[in-house]
Amino acid sequence: MKTWMTIWLGVFWMTIGLPLGLAQDAQPGSSGVGDIYYPDLGNGGYDVQHYTLNLMIDVETNFLAGTAKLEAVATQDLSAFNLDFLNLKIATVLVDGQTAPYVHEGRELTIQPLEPLATDQAFEVIVKYYGFPQPTSPESIPFEMGWNHFGTGIYAANEPSGAATWYPVNDHPTDKATYTFNLSVPEGYVAVANGVLEQTIPNGERVTYVWEARDPMASYLSTVHVDRFLLDETRTEDGLTLRNYYPERYLQQGIVAFRRQAEMIAFFETVFGEYPFEVYGAVVVNSSFGFALETQTISMFGREVLFGMGGDAEWIIAHELAHQWFGNYVSPAQWRDIWLNEGFATYAEWLWYEYNYGSEELENLVAEEYENASNPFWVPGRIAEPSRSDLFNAGVYNRGALTLHALRLEVGDAVFFDILPTWLQRYADSVATTADFIALSNELSNRDLTGFFDGWLYEDALPPIEQLGLGSTN
């Protein structure tokens, strides 16, 4: 009986194209990476190395025809695997050149290769798709994220889960990859993406823009913009290329608004270390949408940034630039760790303020922000465990920055300004957690700061900053 069963199983696996030894161990990859707040985001069982996105875009109708090629490595024996992909229609799916069966339900595109993939095996997935992409409304943020069509142009703003609205993706920061964008648009339009513009290829009534993002990037930081842009390109004193794209009617306003960009980079390099990517710049969308985003190497802003955003837009420009280090170079391993992005970028604004106006003015700013943060209705506590339905609340920004200033006072400038660049060096091109930051602070200060961080990160009440007489009971 055992002999016949073995023979039968062998015939069965051969019939469906699965080697006997491997098929016994191969399992489907998980449909999420296990994010504590958003368990359905991302997928398990593989690691994407590179995306090549060939996108033919019609601006007027918002029609998109795409071919996505993913170069990946299996991290387990895989009988099937998932990609995050929303709404668009699929024409074909290939795995290593072979047509593969798939099921597309909601956000999950489940693909079954004809032969299982062995651990550490490199493989290639090609998905051809088309349709009219629409943004998604994640529970974590009150904006429509992903692919947005605003009549005269297009922008893609993905944080935290919008990349899946325009290409099949492992949509979580823990799987960073490099990218190639081949963007075909009607003549007269300019297509902008992350990285370096390598080629502009005319083709009759269309133009293809080829962008290469050669540094690992989390999917929420990928972007595409299409509009009638004008380019202002300059270089920093150290030779870093800065390319800023503005709607054609707003070129002069853009040049004025972003005039201190190079100076900001030079200052932040003295504090955080060398700028981590090949290029930098900004793109201003000819629409007002109420936020800015640190899309890697080319931060995006609504046109309100050109008119001060109701105040001085210099601070939001500094904020998105600082994210290139804090959030992009080192990304959160879990979305609940978002204060590691937003608190750090906000404190970078304050450091820029100190650089311009001095330490006494910084203390005045801290006192003002401390008073604001004392109202828990406006600035919630427990910033290392924010509400999953209000992930980007004021606490992760302002109380996050206050936490860093309190740490600076607690350990002294020498240690504090060693912690920041060491953090970036240790977790470069990767992800990290709040626990990792606490451990590093303990290590470099040679102290146990557990109680300090418990008060600032995990309690509702705002701790005092005794050195500044803020919240002190004395």
Looking at the fold, whether 323 and 247 belong to one and the same domain comes out as yes
| Rounded average pLDDT over 264-277 | 98
pLDDT band at 474 (very low <50, low <70, confident <90, very high): very low
The domain that holds 294 is classified in CATH as: 2.60.40.1730
The set of residues, in sequence order, having a beta carbon less than 8 Å from that of 329 and lying 6+ positions away, is 276, 277, 424, 428, 429
* Domain span including residue 458: 331-468
pLDDT of residue 4: 28
Looking at the fold, whether 190 and 295 belong to one and the same domain comes out as yes
418 inside domain: yes
pLDDT in tens, 282-302: 999 999 888 999 999 999 999
Which of 274, 295, 328 is the last residue in one of the domains? 328
Looking at the fold, whether 352 and 436 belong to one and the same domain comes out as yes
Cβ–Cβ under 8 Å, residues 362 and 413: no
pLDDT in tens, 131-162: 999 999 988 888 899 999 998 999 999 999 99
10 inside domain: no
| Rounded average pLDDT over 370-385 | 93
Token reading at 19 = 């080697």
pLDDT in tens, 193-219: 999 999 999 999 999 999 999 999 999
Rounded Cα–Cα distance for residues 90 and 93 (Å) = 8
Q: How many domains does the chain have?
A: 2
User: Which residues on neighbouring strands pair with residue 190, listed in sequence order?
Assistant: 227
Give the SS3 label for residue 211.
Answer: strand
Which of 278, 300, 328 is the last residue in one of the domains? 328
Q: Mean pLDDT, the chain, as a whole number? A: 93
pLDDT of residue 3: 29
Looking at the fold, whether 198 and 51 belong to one and the same domain comes out as yes
Report the percent of the chain where pLDDT is more than 90: 89
- Which of 290, 424, 283, 297 is closest to 348 using CA atoms? 424
pLDDT in tens, 257-268: 999 999 999 999
Rounded Cα–Cα distance for residues 51 and 266 (Å) = 31
Report the percent of the chain where pLDDT is more than 70: 94
The domain that holds 410 is classified in CATH as: 1.10.390.10
C-alpha dihedral sign at 440, 444, 448, 449: negative
Flag the least confident range among 88-92, 135-139, 295-299, 404-408: 135-139
pLDDT of residue 377: 86
Which of 280, 305, 328 is the last residue in one of the domains? 328
pLDDT of residue 371: 96
pLDDT of residue 25: 87
On the question of pLDDT at 28 being above 80, the answer is: yes
14 inside domain: no
Looking at the fold, whether 429 and 401 belong to one and the same domain comes out as yes
| Rounded average pLDDT over 267-285 | 98
Greatest Cα-to-Cα distance within the chain, rounded to the nearest angstrom: 86
pLDDT in tens, 411-468: 999 999 999 999 999 999 999 999 999 999 999 999 999 999 999 999 999 999 998 8
pLDDT in tens, 300-333: 999 999 987 655 799 999 999 999 999 999 999 9
257 inside domain: yes
| Rounded average pLDDT over 354-374 | 96
- pTM beyond 0.85: yes
Looking at the fold, whether 322 and 371 belong to one and the same domain comes out as no
pLDDT of residue 6: 29
pLDDT of residue 7: 27
Looking at the fold, whether 134 and 172 belong to one and the same domain comes out as yes
1 inside domain: no
15 inside domain: no
265 inside domain: yes
pLDDT of residue 1: 33
Looking at the fold, whether 182 and 203 belong to one and the same domain comes out as yes
Looking at the fold, whether 339 and 309 belong to one and the same domain comes out as no
pLDDT band at 11 (very low <50, low <70, confident <90, very high): very low
User: Is 122 buried (19+), middle (13-18) or exposed (0-12) by CB count in 10 A?
Assistant: exposed
Token reading at 218 = 């989390």
Looking at the fold, whether 183 and 68 belong to one and the same domain comes out as yes
DSSP state for residue 464 in the 8-state scheme: P
Rounded Cα–Cα distance for residues 203 and 205 (Å) = 6
Rounded Cα–Cα distance for residues 356 and 337 (Å) = 30
219 inside domain: yes
Looking at the fold, whether 336 and 323 belong to one and the same domain comes out as no
Looking at the fold, whether 168 and 268 belong to one and the same domain comes out as yes
CA 368 to chain centre: 30
